Amino acid sequence: MKKIINAVDRVENDMIKGMCKAYPQYVTELPIDNDLCQDHVVVRTEKKVGKVALISGGGSGHEPAHGGYVGKGMLDAAVAGAVYTSPTPEPIYEAIKEIATDKGVLMIVKNYTGDVMNFEMAGEMAEMEGIKVAQVVTNDDVAVDGSLYTVGRRGVAGTIFVHKCAGAMAETGAELEEVKAVAEKVIDNVRTMGVAINPSMVPAAGEPGFVLAEDEMEVGIGIHGEPGVATAKLTEADAIVDQLLDKILADIDYAGSEVAVMINGSGGTPLMELFIVNNRVADVLAEKGIKVYKTYVGNYMTSLEQEGFSISLLKLDDQLKECLDAEADTPAFKE
Amino acid sequence: MKKIINAVDRVENDMIKGMCKAYPQYVTELPIDNDLCQDHVVVRTEKKVGKVALISGGGSGHEPAHGGYVGKGMLDAAVAGAVYTSPTPEPIYEAIKEIATDKGVLMIVKNYTGDVMNFEMAGEMAEMEGIKVAQVVTNDDVAVDGSLYTVGRRGVAGTIFVHKCAGAMAETGAELEEVKAVAEKVIDNVRTMGVAINPSMVPAAGEPGFVLAEDEMEVGIGIHGEPGVATAKLTEADAIVDQLLDKILADIDYAGSEVAVMINGSGGTPLMELFIVNNRVADVLAEKGIKVYKTYVGNYMTSLEQEGFSISLLKLDDQLKECLDAEADTPAFKE
């Protein structure tokens, strides 16, 4: 295992500290009783007042998710567990209390059994303190219905669109129910599928999540280094794109609609290859009469050093376009 | 060689097309006679008028450099050669003609023999057409004085600070000499050093630029996949950072000054590791009484899928701070 780290049991701590030191104008670490776990919480340095607050999180290893999206127009807190491991309820609860406003708190949770359970428990604890809490669960991955970690579809890179759109709605001063409704509209209209050509390695495990031959790729990967739905021969980029798009486009009717496109890198993928992927995505969508409103290419929701990518399509209406175009000022996403 | 590409002789073309299709609001490809080479030019979609125009470039494989920095407050054109190969003079000349204003054109060139020669030739061709042209050469790499590709120090990630500051100065309506002076001030005050734990592979070569054992790292790398100054035992992240910072801090006097910090990923490095690096950089600078004004962590000047990073420190004065803080709106850099 070859990594630029100090020790396998320090990666989460060193990462969060390094993030907060890089962006003190955006994020501050919330001290929590951390003796028993590797969970960490970052909150907005300038606390939101009088508007719905947003919280998300999950395991570490998905950087810049989710701490990188804490800031104006997106999240108010991000909770990070150990690598690829759900944070426990206690730090989530502490984070909710820290960011809560009279308008309430929306929890944006990716559909993984541990995440959903722990966020729910934290939300209930907060509600007992009189905090208004609502929750949405993202499940954009069309590759698989049920997996190693999940009942139902997994929440993957499309979650970033939920942060962006719900965050924009919250900034307008909307009520919790309205912010939740926008989040659910995004969830209803976003689909993602991914592929990897090289796996990632959890530092504490020291073993890759799957093994591929030099001419193989893993199709339908999640974001936790787990195997996908099938191992296949590595083909040319355009053919990989076609395969993923076929599955995405078959899932909901995008015909004649406008979409936002996200080409998300898995962490170890050169940007050159993501642009090569987008070249084909743009061509296929144009052929099918699907209009691209905006494209995002980069490392948005990663899996450590995994090499691969996912394609997300978000079907837009005027409200979602407005939400995408609204100001966002966070370390990893500016608009 | 495992890559997400269509064919080794198409990577530059597919990449540029994919970039322009992702960001049509920012960049447009300039058609050039491209039968004989793999050079490509992107220019600002909204042409700059009445202000100094900026051009940069170099080989492909450094994405988002340089096309990703084309937009308001940074570059007006970027010329990309084949992977790790200087673009030829003709497309540079075509780009200069396309973006030229009465105020002139500043060429920002990284110090590599081929780049310097070809930009100079293109600049002379443009001057013969009556275009005012000035040039600066970046040479921020403290690792090596002279290398495989260069006489003198190499230009590496610190070049992005030149784009940002000179671009901001140009937006104020300053004259060519003033914009050039800001670029030179950045060059005088920025230093960089890098390390890699895994090499990159030029698609057309199919071989890595250097080979490392599982417990080795390459210290003092450039950005063209070439070997560094020494192969050393891979140590913990903090010790690597200390080694690089020692060399950077010994080169010019940063004592008591304010700096901008860039932790630049080589392309295949997970963001988690870059934050772990920054955690130590921030601590060491604090210990030494060097104040961090702003930190940038991410993939700014990459080397395909190489795993590694560089640290850049830019010593600031009030003018450079203003230039860093000025508006920038490009695909890869927003302020």
Mean pLDDT of A111-140: 97
The pLDDT tens digits of the residues spanning A78-120 come to 999 999 999 999 999 999 999 999 999 999 999 999 999 999 9
Residue contact B271–A21, C-beta within 8 A? no
Residue contact B307–A307, C-beta within 8 A? no
CA distance A55 to A66: 9
Mean pLDDT of A106-135: 97
Residue A34 has pLDDT above 70, yes or no: no
Residue contact B305–A268, C-beta within 8 A? yes
Question: In the prediction, which pLDDT does B122 show?
Answer: 98
Distance in Å, alpha carbon of B210 to nearest chain A alpha carbon: 16
Question: In the prediction, which pLDDT does B145 show?
Answer: 75
A224 is catalytic: yes
In chain A, residues with a C-beta closer than 8 Å to the C-beta of B299 are 271, 299
B109: three-class secondary structure by DSSP: strand
**Residue found under tokens 């992240």:** B237
Tell me the three-class secondary structure of chain A, residue by residue: CCCCCCCCCCHHHHHHHHHHHHCCCCEEECCCCCCCCCCEEEEECCCCCCCCEEEEEEEECCCCCCHHHECECCECEEEEEEECCCCCHHHHHHHHHHHCCCCCEEEEEECCHHHHHHHHHHHHHHHHCCCCEEEEEECCECCCCCECCECCCCCCCCHHHHHHHHHHHHHCCCCHHHHHHHHHHHHHHEEEEEEEEECCECCCCCCECCCCCCCEEEECCCCCCCCCCEEEECCCHHHHHHHHHHHHHCCCCCCCCEEEEEEEECCCCCHHHHHHHHHHHHHHHHHCCCEEEEEEEECCCCCCCCEEEEEEEEECCHHHHHHHHCCCECCCCEC
In chain B, residues with a C-beta closer than 8 Å to the C-beta of A308 are 4
Residue contact B273–A3, C-beta within 8 A? yes
**A28 neighbors A47 (Cβ within 8 angstroms):** no
| Residues 6 or more apart whose Cβ sits within 8 Å of residue A133 | A96, A104, A105, A106, A107, A123, A126, A127
Residue B218: beta bridge partners? B196, B231
Question: In the prediction, which pLDDT does B144 show?
Answer: 80
This prediction's pTM: 0.97
Interface contacts A/B by beta carbons within 8 Å: 185
Question: In the prediction, which pLDDT does B23 show?
Answer: 98
Joined tokens for residue A126: 């907060």
Question: In the prediction, which pLDDT does B186 show?
Answer: 98
Mean pLDDT of B140-145: 89
A62 is catalytic: yes
Mean pLDDT of B272-293: 98
Band (B33; pLDDT cuts 50, 70, 90): confident
Band (A33; pLDDT cuts 50, 70, 90): confident
In chain A, residues with a C-beta closer than 8 Å to the C-beta of B297 are 18-19, 22, 331
In chain B, residues with a C-beta closer than 8 Å to the C-beta of A296 are 22
Mean pLDDT of B66-92: 97
- A274 vs B148, higher pLDDT: A274
The pLDDT tens digits of the residues spanning B161-181 come to 999 999 999 999 999 999 999
Question: In the prediction, which pLDDT does A146 show?
Answer: 64
CB-CB: which of A2, A64, A299 is closest to B198?
A2
Residue A74 has pLDDT above 90, yes or no: yes
**B101 neighbors B51 (Cβ within 8 angstroms):** yes
Question: In the prediction, which pLDDT does B35 show?
Answer: 62
B154: three-class secondary structure by DSSP: coil
